[in-house]
A and B are shown apart, each in its own frame.
Chain A
Amino acid sequence: MTTVAAKPATMAQALTRALRDAMAADPGVHVLGEDVGALGGVFRVTDGLAAEFGEDRCTDTPLAEAGILGTAVGMAMYGLRPVVEMQFDAFAYPAFEQVVSHVTKMRNRTRGKMPLPLTIRVPYGGGIGGVEHHSDSSEAYYMATPGLHVVTPATVADAYGLLRASIASDDPVVFLEPKRLYWSKDAWNPQEPAPVEPIGRAVVRRPGRSATLITYGPSLVVCMEAAEAARAEGWDLEVVDLRSLVPFDDETVCASVRRTGRAVVVHESGSFGGPGGEIAARVTERCFHHLEAPVLRVAGFDIPYPPPMLERHHLPGVDRILDAVGRLQWEAES
């Protein structure tokens, strides 16, 4: 067998490849959503699937998110593995009733008799200059609903691996795609894609000794940049990429925080009632005696997502992260 060298690929390409491979491997995998057929999705993630697998396997639906997810529930009930595409974060809300009332509860209501193996792909987050309703970070809503897995890749390899794992999962998965990373490139070998790891493992992207940045999805890139910049100020930052918000990898996160003694959680969505609160509480409960400072959060403001011309002030940037890192030199109040 000739080996193909790793070439740069975008996250969108890796996602397409994951869908294609999953559909080829299992005839029960069906893709449905708005504009997923001839157009290949507005982000082209489903490009070519309708041509290769036919319109019954990759289906342009009527424009109705509740209908898309609701019918996917029925398809999953009958043994298929639907993968639905929600066009943008804020347009998934009409389907939220299906998420909350049925998708997350079906296994439980039926005492395990009716699991729902379905994947809900949601492009999410800002930083792409989109007008309102195109930049929401909706992960907290999904995290707060028991019965769902919530995963989000930050690298090209993870985009492939996590999507394959999500489709293979016997439970419903909300697969959050950081849309500003769609066109980010990594060297990636489609012939030898990273092994599909089970959902729920965080990974240390950058080892360090003085503090841990805990992050995921679109904020990973910013955190890596901040870690580089922090070197000049004598900070050696470790960066943990969660990859999965539900289930949550306490082990990897806490092992890191125990090593470094300090932690900052970074994400785009608002801090009040946001993912960072949960993460900070977990870390505090488990690592209290190792902590040299409170766990801090650097998040988007608690405001409706702002218009594009102001979004740079809203999104956590390198400076805001470095400020928080500075505050980790905590001194107990006298």
Chain B
Amino acid sequence: MTVMEQRGAYRPTPPPAWQPRTDPAPLLPDAEPYRVLGTEAAGQADPDLLRTLYARLVSGRRYNAQATALTKQGRLAVYPSSTGQEACEVAAALALEERDWLFPSYRDTLAVVARGVDPVEALTLLRGDWHTGYDPYEHRVAPLSTPLATQLPHAVGLAHAARLKGDDVVALAMVGDGGTSEGDFHEALNFAAVWQAPVVFLVQNNGFAISVPLAKQTAAPSLAHKAVGYGMPGRLVDGNDAAAVHEVLSDAVRHARAGGGPTLVEAVTYRVEAHTNADDATRYRGDAEVETWRRHDPIDLLQRELTERGLLDEDGVRAAREDAETMAADLRARMNQDPRLDPMDLFAHVYAEPTPQLREQRDLLRAELAAEAESGAAEGGHR
């Protein structure tokens, strides 16, 4: 019996035969980022969706502020804020169905939370108590990836596997503008296009990779242009326009689910805060640029649209803020509790079965901890 026969549920659907593309024109991104808010297209947007996006943006902004405050109190080792980029984070997560998968980068905590992961569990990596605090299968969220672009091929492989099994699952993989220079980015795009894998790549182009501006990262007219050479469509969208991001990503997800293959979406946005709390942004950029972008704030854009169309009043704004405050208070309270860590966990998940060598080391640590406890050594007593 072959492996395939053993697994009754295994329904291979071979990818369609590769069709050489003779006309790249339909793959090319528009010259200008796609916008919805403030344009006629906004009239077609679902009011409920807009209101949901708004509430999530307000909450996301508050989350960023709270997490940044927690770094100042030493509760988080580091926090890469996505302030200014909340529209990408939230709209990306909301464009997915429950059965879909998210492959986040280290800055994408908000997208992870928007998928339903507990806010505290989403922060364990950055707090330093464990590398990934959540069960990836529970909400279909891969671990936050610290090495840049390395999670992109995983997204392609997972989506490909789902397709081979006959499941209509889509993978959304997020990466920064800097990450698009890594070899893994290019290999992932190529595999996805050749296999026609149901993947959507979302590049959040926030202008900088730590200190390096986009102009030193690429000579392409846009990052969305990179798609064309691999044979997939590239789409350019205003990353501060939550309605536009949601629409473009939803289209790409639908397209992938229907067997149309991958899409590369570039969302043009801006990193308003420094790279992380440990970074000094004044070394590489001036205030004027930041101010320009603050005037193109994703929350303001959406709030203006909703208010003008009578979909949001002052009570609605207040309610969104109050909900965000409640979330922040809860996050603060729970993050201010010291996590309970068992040092023996160091050996818990290195292998399914620890090697004899690891068992020896485990015994050594156990003895050390016992001696420490006996000598009543307080915290820091260990040298």
What is the interface of chain A, defined by CB distance below 8 A to chain B?
Answer: 34-35, 37-40, 42, 60-67, 90-91, 93-94, 129-134, 225, 229, 272, 301-304, 306-310, 312-314, 317-320
Kindly name the residue among B77, B124, B179 whose own CB sees the greatest number of chain A CB atoms within 10 A: B77
- Residues of chain A contacted by B300 (CB below 8 angstroms): none
Q: Is B126 an interface residue (CB 8 A)?
A: yes
- Residues of chain A contacted by B383 (CB below 8 angstroms): 225, 229, 317-319
Expressed in whole angstroms, the Cα–Cα distance for A302 and B361 within the complex equals: 8
- Residues of chain B contacted by A318 (CB below 8 angstroms): 383
- Residues of chain B contacted by A38 (CB below 8 angstroms): 211, 283-284
Q: Is B247 an interface residue (CB 8 A)?
A: no
Chain B interface size band reads 35 or more
Is B128's CB under 8 angstroms from A94's CB?
Answer: no
Q: Is B148 an interface residue (CB 8 A)?
A: yes
Q: Is B15 an interface residue (CB 8 A)?
A: no
Is A62's CB under 8 angstroms from B181's CB?
Answer: yes
Contact A129 B128, CB 8 Å, known A94-B182, A310-B346, A318-B383: yes
Contact A39 B77, CB 8 Å, known A64-B181, A93-B147: no
Contact A304 B350, CB 8 Å, known A39-B211, A133-B146: yes
Is B126's CB under 8 angstroms from A131's CB?
Answer: yes
- Cross-interface CB contact of B382 among A65, A66, A225, A312, cutoff 8 Å: A312
- Residues of chain B contacted by A60 (CB below 8 angstroms): 211-212, 216
Q: Is B217 an interface residue (CB 8 A)?
A: yes
Q: Is B191 an interface residue (CB 8 A)?
A: no
- Residues of chain A contacted by B284 (CB below 8 angstroms): 38-39
- Residues of chain A contacted by B368 (CB below 8 angstroms): 313, 319-320
Is B357's CB under 8 angstroms from A94's CB?
Answer: no
Is B181's CB under 8 angstroms from A314's CB?
Answer: no
> How far in angstroms is the closest Cβ of chain B from A80?
20
Is B283's CB under 8 angstroms from A34's CB?
Answer: no
Is B181's CB under 8 angstroms from A67's CB?
Answer: yes
Is B357's CB under 8 angstroms from A42's CB?
Answer: no
Q: Is B130 an interface residue (CB 8 A)?
A: yes
Expressed in whole angstroms, the Cα–Cα distance for A309 and B340 within the complex equals: 10
Q: Is B184 an interface residue (CB 8 A)?
A: yes
Contact A62 B216, CB 8 Å, known A37-B211, A307-B129, A309-B129: yes
Closest to A41 in B: B211
Expressed in whole angstroms, the Cα–Cα distance for A39 and B278 within the complex equals: 13
Interface residues of B in 278-303 (CB under 8 A from A): 283-284
Closest to B383 in A: A318
Is B217's CB under 8 angstroms from A301's CB?
Answer: no
Contact A313 B346, CB 8 Å, known A63-B217, A131-B78, A318-B383: yes
Expressed in whole angstroms, the Cα–Cα distance for A234 and B355 within the complex equals: 36
Interface residues of B in 219-267 (CB under 8 A from A): none
